[in-house]
Structure 1
Amino acid sequence: MSLIVQKFGGTSVADTEKIRAAARRAIRAQKQGHRVVMVVSAMGKQTDVLLKLAAGVCERPPAREMDMLLSTGEQTSVALVAMAIHDLGSKAVSLTGGQIGMKTDNSFSKARIRSIDTRRIERLLEEGNIVVAAGFQGIDDDLNITTLGRGGSDTTAVALAAVLGADACEINTDVDGVYTTDPRLLPEARRVDVISYDEMLELASLGAGVMHSRSIEFAKKFSVPIHVRSSFGDRDGTMIVAQAESESAAVSGAALTKDEARVTVLGVPDVPGMSRTIFNAIAAQKIAVDMVVQNVGAEGKADVSFTVAGDELDQTLRAVESIVDSIDASGVTHDAEVSKVSVVGLGMADQKAVAAKMFRALADAGVNIQMITTSEIKISALVPREQSAAALRAVHEGFTLDQRPADAKTWKEIKAEAAVEADVHDVVSRLQNDALEALTLTDIAFVGGQARVTLDGVLDQVGIAADVFEEIGQAGIFIDMIVQGFDGEDGRTSVSFTTDEANLEASIKVAEQICEKHAMRGVRGSAGITKLSVSGIGLRSHTQVGTVLFDQLAEAKINVEMIATSELQVNVVIDSAQADTATRRLKAAFADALN
């Protein structure tokens, strides 16, 4: 008999009528022949009420006691849902996180799942019960109640689906699927039938509120098909699986991260170990860094720019300013009024001129680009916050995301394919171990035979990036990494890109023409570089990845020339002569995480 995990968020169980509706949906699935596990969040604004209560009695509540308090929200919900199922004539048993066998570490408020003992759930299912499990929570080795942090109920649902070998995991929420962008920001956003794990991971990390990235990491790791649908209707929704909706479309979605802050460390000595010092200081404060841009140094100095969440700017500045003198940097600048607009798509890895198309769309909308970073399936640009809405609309229209691609797969086609895939991976999805949420790296590899071209003294004005990469594209040059840093000293910056060594001469020729046209300072180019990539699942949530990478390179006295990051990869450019040493050291350092 097939098994379905159904997750219901807070808005889906916000009152008694919605609780009964959720109960009816679970009963209907059971009557269709499925075994059913429900994962339920706290009712509506219940968590906010509990937080307010805590603030009323204690200015700084202990993390352990906050987890004890907040876990009661889900316990209330699961009991009420189970009661509703009984009242509607079916059998149900409600269970807390500890009772479903979810063991976590002891990181209160942001615990990670170590293992799930499914024996009790399986016994209750065999007895004909609908199991109603509390999301968001577990227990540690000392039986303390722990919570999983933001998106914890999604994570619970997908983790249970993985270890139970579920045929699908349904995420029932207040929206009817995944859209090409947030429909609250752009009403013309289109619901997609299908989106890949990788695309959804990038969009989730960019602030797409449908699902949290940790739950997508679980789904990708254990090949769990996710079905996102509305709690309040029967529309098909969106399937999140391994493949993309379309093979021809370069871009599948756009996202806006509105509350960003940019920090630039100026005049960093261009020698090994500097990136390690900077990012170790930030990591020590438990601050997650988003865009990271290190451009090619000039005259022995380089600028390192990165973004953080707006509410972490002050703490970040304190951390960075504490090490500026020790690394002999010339200073720190910041901007608290910036936003990040991004496009994501599996198809862009194989198509030319995607970046140029994005930059032209922004230029035509009068949007200035302050920073650029790229990966195989994502391009992000930092823009002034006052232009963020226009930027999102521009890229969404530029890639005609409101229109369904001609070769788009249907929901039913993907559902059938996903069912086959889940069966193939049945053994894997039932794995039980002590680190279900452990970092999983899929590859540590390098791409040699690369060249780099840098345009110095690029004016900070609308349309420059579009002109640069349109002309490069017209010359038939395929670009890999693109990095545009930020230079607040004279209103100019530098833009670097990598390409095959065979394209170096042609690239320099085009770059010199661009340089003359736009009155830039000059062009630099060099061969003999390698892009070193660490790829995997959980790179953002496991913040030690960057720290270990920079530590290993610094200890081997390997200088980092360029940096670009994404949800799925950390990319650095180094001298080709050091590629073998770097790869060997990283594989040894990450041996336990390599898949």
Structure 2
Amino acid sequence: MPLIVQKFGGSSVATPEKILKAARRAIRAQQEGNQVVMVVSAMGDTTDDLLELAAQVNERPPAREMDMLLSTGEQISVALMAMAIHSLGNKAISLTGAQIGVKTDASYRKARIKSIETSRMRKLLDEGNIVIAAGFQGIDEDFNITTLGRGGSDTTAVALAAVLRADACEIYTDVDGVYTTDPRVVPEARRVSRIGYDEMLELASLGAGVMHSRSIEFGKKFDVPIHVRSSFTDQPGTMIVAEPERPDMAVSGAAITKDEARITVEGIPDVPGTSLEIFKRIADRNISVDMIVQNVGESGKADVSFTVPRNELDAALEAVREGVRIVGAAGITSDDSVAKVSVVGLGMARQTGVAERMFRALAAAGINIQMITTSEIKISVLVRRDEAQKALRIVHQEFELDKEPTTPIEPWTPKSSQSDAADVIARLQGINMEDLTIDDIQLDSKQSRVTISGVPDAPGIAAKVFEQVAAGGVFVDMIVQSHPTSSGEATLSFTVPDEQLVKSVEVAKQVAKSLACKEVTSSPAIAKLSVSGVGLRTHTGVAIRMFKALSDAGINLEMINTSEVRVNVVVDGAAGERGMKQLQQAFSDVMR
């Protein structure tokens, strides 16, 4: 019999009327011949109310007791949902995370799922019950109640769908699917019928509030199709699966991350291990680093810039100052009035000129780009926060994301391969379900680097560079623009295929001369090392492990950029093979 997991968020169960409506939806799914597991969040603002109540009793309550308190919100919801289903003449039973057997680690307020027991749920389903599971919670090995942190109910739902090998995981919320961007900011945003896991991971990390990154990571890791739907209508919603609706589209979505702060460390000695000294201290404080940009050094010195959550800037600066004292950097600057604007799409890995279009659109609007970083499926720029919403609307319009696809969209069909199923089952039998999983470690020795130094800090510079590069038919892979130094100048580097280096240098020199830049340098002997996988966003130590492995081998990092699914570094070409072996060894315990 088919099995469906249905998750209802807090807004979907905020009142008795909404609870009854959700109950009817679950009953209808069961009457259509499915076994049904419901995952329910706390009602409406219950969690916020509990947090406020705790603060009135203790300004710094113990984390264990907070989990004990917060877990009660979901327990109220599941009991009421079971009562509602009984009142409609159907069988249901409510279960807490502990009763299900959701085993977690002991990290209160942000626990990770280690395993889930399925036997009790299977028995209850076979007896004709709708099983109602409390989201957001589990127990550690000492039977202490733990909570999963932000997005925990989504994570619970996708995790249950994985272990039960459900046919679908339906996420019911107050929106009717995933949009090309936030429709509250850009009213013409379009709902997409289907989006890829990697695209959704990038958008989720960029502030697309429909789902949290952890739940998408579960979906990708265990091949769970996720269906985002409205609680209040029968709109078809959006499927989150491996393949997007239009693999040929360069850009499928755009997003802004407003609450960012930027830190720049200037004049770092350009030797192995310096980046590690900085970032390991930040990781020790469990601060999430997002946009890392390190460019090619000059005169034995390099600059590295990165973004952190705005509310963690002070703690991050404290950590950075420790690292600066050790490595002997020249200084630190920071800015808490910045925002990140990004475009995402699987198709951009196969098309030229995508970055140029984005940069040109922003330049035409007079918006200055402070930093640039790219991955295979994402381009991110840092701009002033007060210009971020305008920038989002501009790039959304530039890539015509409001328009429906002109060619028919191939319908999505679930996989049925026995080998794929066996692979998923093998991964489910790992030590911890939320362990970091590295899919691939790659070495690309067929690229060259072009660097323009002394780039003026003014709107339109990047647009002019890449407009000329795109006109020459050059395919640009990795773009890194460092934040301008105190002198008001930046460094812009990009990588191109080896056979296009000469043409790229010619273009760069022409542009540099017209813009009065300092100089153009290049290297035909670079190696790009990449680590990709599932969990890079929520396991903050991936970049650190990468930097340490290369530092231990005496390999210097020339360039760094990061995304939600990949960390890229550029090193000297002669060190490529050795770097590849070091990374394979460093990540051998988490390789898929």
State the TM-score, normalizing by the size of structure 2: 0.98
Say if 2:249 is the partner of 1:254: no
Q: How many Å separate the matches in 2 of 1:424 and 1:445?
A: 25
The more displaced of 2-11 and 364-373 is 364-373
- CA drift at 1:548: 0.9
Q: Secondary structure at the match of 1:293?
A: strand
Asked if the contact 1:223–1:422 (Cα under 8 Å) also holds between the matched residues in 2, the reply is no
Q: How many Å separate the matches in 1 of 2:460 and 2:85?
A: 59
Say if 2:506 is the partner of 1:509: yes
- 1:300 is matched with 300
- CA drift at 1:408: 5.1
* Structure 1 residues 301 and 364, CA gap change in structure 2 (3 angstroms): same
Say if 2:422 is the partner of 1:439: no
Q: How many Å separate the matches in 2 of 1:98 and 1:408?
A: 46
What whole-Å deviation, never above 9, does each CA across 1:267-309 have from its counterpart, x for those lacking one? 0000000010000111111100000000000000000000011
Q: How many Å separate the matches in 1 of 2:577 and 2:48?
A: 52
Q: How many Å separate the matches in 1 of 2:553 and 2:123?
A: 54
Asked if the contact 1:4–1:166 (Cα under 8 Å) also holds between the matched residues in 2, the reply is yes
Asked if the contact 2:4–2:167 (Cα under 8 Å) also holds between the matched residues in 1, the reply is yes
Asked if the contact 2:274–2:327 (Cα under 8 Å) also holds between the matched residues in 1, the reply is yes
What whole-Å deviation, never above 9, does each CA across 1:359-402 have from its counterpart, x for those lacking one? 11111122110000000000000001110111000000000000
Asked if the contact 1:164–1:429 (Cα under 8 Å) also holds between the matched residues in 2, the reply is no
Say if 2:425 is the partner of 1:426: no
- CA drift at 1:426: 3.4
Asked if the contact 1:40–1:133 (Cα under 8 Å) also holds between the matched residues in 2, the reply is yes
Q: How many Å separate the matches in 2 of 1:408 and 1:438?
A: 38
- 1:60 is matched with 60
Which of 512, 519, 535 does residue 532 from structure 2 map onto?
535
- CA drift at 1:422: 7.8
Q: Secondary structure at the match of 2:323?
A: coil
- CA drift at 1:429: 4.1
Asked if the contact 2:370–2:484 (Cα under 8 Å) also holds between the matched residues in 1, the reply is no
Say if 2:431 is the partner of 1:466: no
- CA drift at 1:506: 1.3
Q: How many Å separate the matches in 2 of 1:590 and 1:271?
A: 23
* Structure 1 residues 594 and 354, CA gap change in structure 2 (3 angstroms): same
Which of 583, 586, 591 does residue 583 from structure 2 map onto?
586
User: Percent of counterpart pairs with the same letter?
Assistant: 63
Asked if the contact 1:245–1:408 (Cα under 8 Å) also holds between the matched residues in 2, the reply is no
Asked if the contact 1:97–1:137 (Cα under 8 Å) also holds between the matched residues in 2, the reply is yes
- 2:263 is matched with 263
* Structure 1 residues 423 and 224, CA gap change in structure 2 (3 angstroms): farther
Say if 2:85 is the partner of 1:85: yes
Unaligned runs of 5+ in 2: none
Q: How many Å separate the matches in 1 of 2:252 and 2:504?
A: 29
Amino acid at match of 1:518: L
Q: How many Å separate the matches in 2 of 1:434 and 1:64?
A: 24
What whole-Å deviation, never above 9, does each CA across 1:99-121 have from its counterpart, x for those lacking one? 11110110111111111110000
Unaligned runs of 5+ in 1: none
The 5 Å alignment of 1:133-532 reads 133-407=133-407, 409=409, 413-414=411-412, 417-418=413-414, 420-421=415-416, 425-430=420-425, 431-532=428-529
Asked if the contact 1:40–1:153 (Cα under 8 Å) also holds between the matched residues in 2, the reply is yes
Amino acid at match of 1:35: Q
Q: Secondary structure at the match of 1:307?
A: strand
Q: How many Å separate the matches in 1 of 2:30 and 2:496?
A: 55
What whole-Å deviation, never above 9, does each CA across 1:405-434 have from its counterpart, x for those lacking one? 223526xx21xx12x358764344443343
Say if 2:41 is the partner of 1:41: yes
Q: How many Å separate the matches in 2 of 1:3 and 1:427?
A: 18
* Structure 1 residues 398 and 168, CA gap change in structure 2 (3 angstroms): same
RMSD: 1.1
Q: How many Å separate the matches in 2 of 1:64 and 1:261?
A: 31
Asked if the contact 1:262–1:307 (Cα under 8 Å) also holds between the matched residues in 2, the reply is yes
Q: Secondary structure at the match of 1:50?
A: helix
Say if 2:557 is the partner of 1:563: no
User: May I ask how many residue pairs the two structures share in their alignment?
Assistant: 590
* Structure 1 residues 408 and 216, CA gap change in structure 2 (3 angstroms): farther
* Structure 1 residues 241 and 408, CA gap change in structure 2 (3 angstroms): farther
Q: How many Å separate the matches in 1 of 2:488 and 2:246?
A: 41
Q: Secondary structure at the match of 1:123?
A: helix
* Structure 1 residues 409 and 424, CA gap change in structure 2 (3 angstroms): farther
- 1:125 is matched with 125
Q: Secondary structure at the match of 1:210?
A: coil
State the TM-score, normalizing by the size of structure 1: 0.98
